[in-house]
Each structure stands twice: as C-alpha cells, then as structure tokens.
Structure 1
C-alpha cells in the first residue's frame, strides 16, 4: 500500500507520464501525492534565461506545478507541491531528502530512456534518484505524443 507518492516533475512528456501513473495508482489506494520540481541549470538554459531571469523561471515553475497539481486534484486525489532551487542540492539529493522527510512510500519518476553517449554526456537525474532512494522507485517511460504541459 502506497499512502504517500512523491513525483518529481520537469514539464517533460516523461514527467507527465509519471503524473498519470501516480493518478492511476493513488486513486484506488486513497494515496496522497506530492509533486516536486527543482529549478536547475538545465531549466535555466531551456528557458533561455540568464541567471538574472530566476524570478521569471520560478514563476513559470510554480505555474507548471499548479497545472500538474490541478490535474491530480481533478482525479479526486489529495496533492501538494514543493519547489526547490538546485542551489538547495542536486535534483537527486532533493528528491531523496524529500522522500525521507515526507515519509514517501513510493517515488514515481518519468524517464526519457536515453542511452549511450546522450546519457554519458548529460547524466541522468532519474538514475541518480534510483541509486540514492531509500524507498521503491517506479520508472515510467514516456511514449510518443504526450503533452509536456501536464507534468
């Protein structure tokens, strides 16, 4: 029984799939869901902001979390959100700390399924989450055609 499900999101189709899986699992079990987003250097570069654009990026991140939380809430599931800056720690360490502190029973993480050189050069936050987690981690692979705005 998973009473508390933690879902790290980044606005990608992979994290949208993670949110969908959290809804699918949480509804019949009456679980609570916590959505977590960490603003990191990749978020800054994707958004095209210089480091002085942090307030705008934080506002966009808060809107993304709110949209995803509303999706979970519409499914009849209790949900809350957490927004961090990577300066608070790496994405993986923030997820691990949140899972421990919130007493999560499960982490659901979307993955893009990168292989080879792409993973070697970019690293994988998801892989580090799996390696550093003290609770089970369910990986959800993004299929084609999903919308990124939900997760």
Structure 2
C-alpha cells in the first residue's frame, strides 16, 4: 500500500508540510518518495515579468529547483526513507498536467502535496493548483492543509461582531 509516493514541491511552507506528511507515511508503509519540482510556462512567465528580462532566468529557476530538491532529499534520507528527485524544466504544460504525467510514468501509488486551502475571493484570484492536480491525477491524492493561520489571509477571515446578549448575529 502506497509504496511509491510522489511529492510535488514548490518551496512554499505548505509544500514542506506535504513533504513532511509524505515522509511520515513512507515510514509507515516502508515506501519510497519521488520528490518532483516543475518549472512550467506560468512560473517562467511570472519570473520574466518580475525581473523584466529572460536572460539567465531559466538557469536561476533550475538552480532554485535543484536546491529545493536537495533539501527535500536530505530530509527524507535523514528520516531513513528512500528518495529520488526529479526537476522538470521542459515548460511543456501547466504544473497539474506535469504532475499527472509524472505520476503515471513513474508509476506512483499516491500523490501527497500541501495546499493553502484558499476559499472565496482568494481561490478565484489565485486558483487552486492542488484542485487541478486532484482532478487530473491518475492515482489517489492526499492534500495536506496549511495551518488555519496560514491558509486564510487576513482579508478572507470571517468578520466577527460581538453584540449584546440576546441580539441576533450572523457570521
């Protein structure tokens, strides 16, 4: 059961939570991990937009991806888990499709990934990579949510109004 666990990472704290959970699960099942980082068209375009030029940007994105994968590999090895890493820099599609392809090709028994758990406006604006992976995945997916304080930006937290006893209130 769940011997081959695919763990997509992007360097975020929620991705780290997903990796930590995958390590715990692999210990229980005597499984192994494949940690996956993708440089897709969107992340490349956002980086070009942020820096204003492409130049050596792909090289920098690759170096950052290698560093993330090395840190993840070290964490898994320290825990005694078999691990391999994959940097996908083909920029040949959106991340969710690349993850689904990797899961099918390897082949994975399970995908474990962190999610911000965005709702409402935050989800509409930012989208949900985790949701897309869930929809496209050829295998079961375990979503690891960020702690409540991290998963809801201040603007999305419900407004709480304290009224005198006996007054009606809606949250």
The residue aligned with 2:18 is: 18
Aligned pair in 2 of structure 1 residues 11, 46: CA closer, same or farther (>3 Å)? farther
Relative contact order higher in (CA < 8 Å, ≥ 6 apart): 1
2:32 matches 1:28: no
List gaps (5 residues or longer) in structure 2. Answer: 151-171
CA contact (8 A) 1:33 1:79 kept: yes
Query: Given the two structures, how large is their TM-score scaled by the length of structure 1?
Result: 0.88
> How many aligned residue pairs are there?
145
1:108 paired with 2:108, answer no
User: 4+ runs of 1 displaced by more than 4 Å?
Assistant: none
CA shift for structure 1 position 45: 3.7
Aligned residue in 2 for 1:141: 145
Q: Distance in 1 between matches of 2:97 and 2:61?
A: 21
Q: CA RMSD in A?
A: 1.9
SS at match of 1:94: helix
For 1:4 and 1:111, the matched residues in 2 are separated by: 20
Give the match for residue 118 of structure 1: 122
Bigger Rg, which one: 2
Shift of residue 44, structure 1, vs aligned partner: 6.3
Q: Given the two structures, how large is their TM-score scaled by the length of structure 2? A: 0.78
Q: Find 1:98's aligned residue among 96, 102, 105.
A: 102
Per residue, is there more helix in 1 or in 2? 1
Gaps of 5+ in 1: 146-151
* 1:109 Cα deviation from its structure 2 partner: 1.1
- 2-side partners of 1:13 and 1:87: how far apart? 23
Cα pair 1:44 1:57 within 8 Å, conserved: no
Task: Give, in angstroms, the shift of residue 43 of structure 1.
Answer: 6.3
